[in-house]
Chains A and B, each alone.
Chain A
Amino acid sequence: MESVLAFARGPLLVFAFVLFFLGVLRQLGLTGAELVRAYCLAGDRAVPVGQLVRNSLEWIIPVRALQGSRIPYTAASMLFHVGALLVPIFLSGHVQLIQKGLGLGWPAMPAGLADTLTLVTLAALTVLFLLRLADRSSRALSRFQDWLLLVLCGLPFLSGYLVAHPSANPLPFSLTYLIHLLSAELLLILIPFSKLAHITLFPLTRLSWELGWHFVPGAGERVRTALGKEGEPV
Chain B
Amino acid sequence: MAEQVLVVKGEEPKSKVPASGAPSAKAKTVPKVLPHQALGISYYVERLYPGDRVRRFLEIFAAVLQHTNYGQVVDTYARTGAKCAQCACTCQIYLHTRDPRDVPCYRSNLLLEVYRRHFTLRGVLQSKLTGTVHLTEERISELAESVYHCTGCRRCTFECPMGIDHGLLTHLSRYILSEMDIVPKALVVATREQLEGKTGNTSAIPVPALLDTLEFLSEDIKDERGVDIPFPIDQEGREFVFFPAVSDYLLEADTLKGIAATFHAAGESDRWTIGTGYYDGINYGLFYSDWCAERIIQKEIAETRRLKGKTILIGECGHASRSARLFVPTFGGGKNALPILNIMEYTLDALRRGKLKLDPNIITDRVTYHDPCNIARTGWIVEQPREILRSFCKDYVDMEPKGTQNFCCGGGGGTVSVDEIRPYRTKVTGKLKADQIRATGAHYVVAPCANCKKQLREVCEDHGLTGVEVVGLHDLIYKALVL
Q: Report which A residues bind B (CB closer than 8 A).
A: 27, 31, 34-35, 37-38, 41-46, 55-56, 59, 62, 65, 68-70, 73-74, 77, 132, 135-143, 146, 193, 195, 197-198, 201-202, 204-206, 208-209, 211-224, 226-227, 229, 233-234
Contact = CB atoms under 8 A, between A and B. Distances in A.
A44 B331 CA distance: 8
Contacts of B76: 31, 201, 204-205, 208
B63 A227 contact: yes
Given A38-B69, A135-B85, A44 B330 contact: yes
Interface string B68-110: 1111110111011111111011100010001010010110010
Nearest to B14: A233
Contacts of B351: none
B335 A223 contact: no
A220 B60 CA distance: 11
B330 A214 contact: yes
Contacts of B164: 205, 209
Contacts of B94: 137
Contacts of B75: 31, 34
Interface in B258-303: 289-295
A132 B100 CA distance: 13
B84 A209 contact: no
A141 B88 CA distance: 11
Interface of B: 14, 59-60, 63-64, 66-73, 75-77, 79-86, 88-90, 94, 98, 100, 103, 105-106, 109, 122, 159, 161-165, 168, 179, 188, 191-192, 195-196, 289-295, 326-327, 329-332, 334-335, 337
A216 B67 contact: yes
A138 B83 contact: yes
Among B64, B163, B293, max chain A CB count under 10 A is at B163
B100 A141 contact: yes
A141 B106 contact: yes
Contact of B196 (A37, A223, A226, A233): A233
A234 B85 contact: no
A223 B332 CA distance: 20
B351 to A, nearest CB: 28
Given A135-B85, A201-B79, A211-B73, 18 more contacts: A38-B71, A59-B163, A73-B84, A136-B100, A138-B85, A141-B109, A206-B163, A211-B72, A212-B73, A212-B165, A213-B326, A218-B294, A220-B295, A223-B67, A226-B63, A226-B66, A227-B60, A233-B192
Contacts of A38: 69, 71-72
B330 A215 contact: yes
B471 to A, nearest CB: 31
B330 A223 contact: no
A79 B89 CA distance: 21
A227 B73 contact: no
A41 B85 CA distance: 33
Contacts of A73: 84, 86
B72 A208 contact: yes
B68 A31 contact: no
B103 A198 contact: no
Q: Is the interface of A mostly helix, strand, loop or mixed?
A: helix
A234 B179 CA distance: 10
A62 B161 contact: yes
A221 B291 contact: yes
Contacts of B73: 208-209, 211-212
23 contacts: A31-B72, A34-B71, A42-B330, A55-B163, A62-B161, A69-B90, A70-B86, A73-B84, A73-B86, A137-B88, A137-B100, A141-B83, A146-B82, A209-B164, A214-B69, A215-B68, A215-B331, A218-B294, A219-B67, A220-B290, A221-B294, A223-B291, A226-B66
A197 B77 CA distance: 10
- Nearest 3 A/B pairs, CB to CB: A220-B291, A140-B100, A212-B73
A201 B80 contact: yes
A37 B337 CA distance: 22
Given A216-B67, A220-B291, A44 B161 contact: no
Given A43-B329, A141-B106, A223-B68, A202 B162 contact: yes
Among B79, B168, B192, B332, max chain A CB count under 10 A is at B79
Contacts of B77: 205, 208
Given A77-B161, A140-B106, A195-B82, A224 B168 contact: no
A77 B69 contact: no
Contacts of B179: 223-224, 227, 229
A209 B294 contact: no
B89 A195 contact: no
A137 B69 contact: no
Contacts of A56: 163
A29 B71 CA distance: 15
A198 B82 contact: yes
B149 to A, nearest CB: 15
Nearest to B328: A44
B72 A34 contact: yes
Contacts of B168: 209, 212-213
B330 A219 contact: no
A217 B330 CA distance: 7
A45 B335 CA distance: 8
A130 B75 CA distance: 30
B90 to A, nearest CB: 8
Contacts of A214: 69, 330
A34 B168 CA distance: 18
Contacts of B293: 215, 220
A226 B65 CA distance: 12
